[in-house]
């Protein structure tokens, strides 16, 4: 099978890209041909199809919007990619004509490639499967999160809350553009041209159904973990060298990820016990990193917390093995974090809020729950673990079975190819 994969980045910068390249390898191992379409960037992984890639916004080599050159060409590109880019459409149709793929697997395209990628495939008679990696289909800000709280205002007011609340970057201009681009896509019936959606979890399907998407076009296929040989050889047994509970937070340093709630919970926890240590691994933005460091100092938590940059040497898994539990203190409802899957693969139970996607991606056999957005509840949960360490052992032993049932490469690829084949036959 020839599979066209469309995604706005062709280098690893986060979860969607890791998924892209892991899936590409998995499909090619089974003899399928993967044809990528993306945006040109000096960081890109080499590809024989790179000549078909479209220029970045403003013909720049930057990744983030605030780093684009402030030129007229940039502003024109931003508008086209938000609403509809004929340049992207032309380039993609040329690639389809030259390679004749059987199906398009569409990943992230909004704002960077524009909805014209869907028209390009549709006009060339190519069926489309769209994998959802955030809440873009139901929320203009893509997160169902506003001012620190869960938000479904757009469900009631048909996206007009974007205009009232300025949900996109806190900007009236960007929010108005987002609202208008959503309405243009509705007028062009863009979503109707997608044959099937792949949701990573049941909560996403629930939200899309509630927003009016046809439930028959929503398939749940969770993300998988790329099990490398070095991981298979790792000793996943629980390491109890001291009475100290070793905890891990790994990922972006961001308010919506709940890092500040976690620090507050540790400050509360310290009032009753000092038998804990947290490793914070990650942080792409120096300003946020420094904010966390200052907060740790103010809360007298420096001796209990170690802050480390994310490792790029492929040995990040060692952090899981050196910890007892992984904490995902998200303030938003999340989709399906790679951190969760990785932690379960390495037999480390997770601490998560009892809401959103976590209701579908974990269960009580492998997770410790707390009340979402509540540092006191998180502190109570952590204290309970410290007081009853045998609960870690019980959940540790259940992780392998839960992982095998939900997050293996074979299960994911089998389900995905079955979906692809059914759509192609139709």
The 10s digit of each residue's pLDDT in 381-419 is 999 999 999 999 999 999 999 999 999 999 999 999 999
* DSSP states along 104-146: EEE-S-TTTT-THHHHHHHHTT--EEEEE-SSTTT-TTSSSEE
The enclosing H or E element of 358 equals helix 358-361
Crossing angle for the helix pair 86-99 and 116-123, to the nearest 10 degrees = 30
Predicted confidence band at 72 (pLDDT cuts at 50, 70, 90)? confident
Q: What is the pLDDT at residue 284?
A: 63
For residue range 135-157, list pLDDT tens digits in order. Answer: 999 999 999 999 989 999 999 88
Average pLDDT over residues 227-239: 83
- Tell me the pLDDT of the chain averaged across its residues: 93
Q: Is the pLDDT of residue 224 over 90?
A: yes
Bridge partners (DSSP) listed for residue 249: 280
DSSP 250: E
Q: How far apart are CA 340 and CA 250, in angstroms?
A: 10
Q: Is the pLDDT of residue 68 over 90?
A: no
pLDDT higher at 262 or 56: 262
Ranked by mean pLDDT, which of 71-85, 128-142, 241-255 comes out on top? 128-142
Predicted confidence band at 314 (pLDDT cuts at 50, 70, 90)? low
**Residue 278 backbone zone (phi > 0: left; psi -120 to 50: alpha; other: beta):** beta
Q: Is the pLDDT of residue 313 over 70?
A: no
Q: Is the pLDDT of residue 315 over 80?
A: no
Provide φ and ψ at 145, rounded to 5°. -145, 130
Q: Is the pLDDT of residue 177 over 80?
A: yes
Q: What are the CA-CA distances from residue 50 to residues 38, 336, 366 (Å)?
A: 8, 30, 42
Q: What is the pLDDT at residue 378?
A: 98
Token readout for 316 is 């990040």
Average pLDDT over residues 95-102: 98
Token readout for 252 is 């972006």
Half-sphere exposure of 198 (CA within 13 A, CB side): 24
Q: Are 104 and 129 in contact (CB under 8 A)?
A: yes
Average pLDDT over residues 82-97: 97
Q: How far apart are CA 300 and CA 274, in angstroms?
A: 12
Half-sphere exposure of 139 (CA within 13 A, CB side): 22
Q: What pTM was computed for the model? A: 0.91
DSSP 6: E
Q: What are the CA-CA distances from residue 297 to residues 128, 157, 248, 266, 376 (Å)?
A: 51, 43, 19, 12, 20
**What's the gap between Cα 347 and its chain centre?**
21
Average pLDDT over residues 274-290: 85
Predicted confidence band at 312 (pLDDT cuts at 50, 70, 90)? low
Determine what percent of the chain is predicted with pLDDT higher than 90: 79
Ranked by mean pLDDT, which of 164-173, 242-251, 369-378 comes out on top? 369-378
DSSP 311: P
Average pLDDT over residues 281-299: 85
DSSP 248: E
């Amino acid at each position: 099978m020839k599979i066209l994969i469309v995604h706005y980045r062709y280098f690893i910068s986060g979860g969607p890209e890791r998924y892209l390249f892991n899936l590409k390898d998995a499909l090619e191992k089974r003899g399928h041909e993967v044809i990528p379409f993306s945006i040109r960037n000096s960081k890109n992984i080499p590809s024989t199809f790179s000549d078909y890639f479209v220029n970045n916004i403003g013909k720049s080599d930057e990744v983030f919007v605030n780093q684009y050159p402030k030129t007229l060409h940039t502003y024109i590109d931003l508008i086209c990619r938000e609403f509809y880019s004929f340049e992207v459409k032309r380039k993609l149709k040329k690639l389809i004509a030259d390679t004749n793929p059987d199906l398009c697997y569409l990943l992230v395209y909004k704002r960077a490639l524009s909805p014209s990628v869907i028209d390009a495939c549709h006009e060339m008679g190519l069926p489309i499967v769209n994998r959802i990696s955030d809440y873009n289909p139901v929320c203009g800000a893509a997160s169902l999160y506003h001012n620190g709280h869960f938000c479904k205002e757009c469900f009631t007011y048909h996206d007009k809350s974007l205009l009232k609340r300025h949900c996109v970057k806190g900007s009236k201009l960007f929010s108005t553009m987002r609202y208008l681009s959503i309405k243009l896509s509705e007028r062009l019936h863009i979503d109707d041209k997608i044959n099937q959606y792949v949701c990573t979890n049941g909560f996403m399907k629930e939200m899309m159904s509630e927003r009016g998407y046809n439930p028959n076009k929503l398939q749940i296929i969770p993300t998988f973990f790329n099990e490398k040989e070095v991981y298979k050889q790792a000793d996943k047994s629980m390491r109890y060298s001291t009475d100290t509970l070793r905890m891990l937070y790994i990922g972006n340093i961001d308010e919506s990820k709940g890092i500040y709630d976690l620090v507050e919970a540790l400050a509360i926890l310290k009032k009753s016990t000092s038998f804990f240590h947290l490793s914070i691994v990650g942080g792409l933005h120096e300003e946020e990193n420094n904010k966390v460091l200052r907060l740790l100092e103010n809360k007298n938590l420096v001796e209990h917390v170690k802050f480390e940059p994310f490792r790029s040497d492929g040995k990040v898994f060692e952090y899981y093995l050196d910890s007892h539990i992984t904490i995902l203190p998200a303030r938003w409802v999340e989709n399906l974090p790679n951190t969760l899957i990785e932690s379960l693969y390495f037999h480390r139970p997770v601490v998560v809020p009892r809401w959103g996607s976590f209701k579908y991606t974990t269960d009580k056999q492998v997770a410790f729950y707390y009340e979402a957005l509540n540092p006191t509840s998180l502190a109570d949960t952590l204290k309970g673990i410290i007081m009853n360490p045998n609960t870690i052992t019980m959940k540790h032993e259940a992780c392998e079975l839960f992982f095998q049932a939900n997050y293996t490469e074979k299960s994911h690829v089998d389900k995905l190819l079955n979906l692809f084949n059914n759509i192609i036959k139709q």
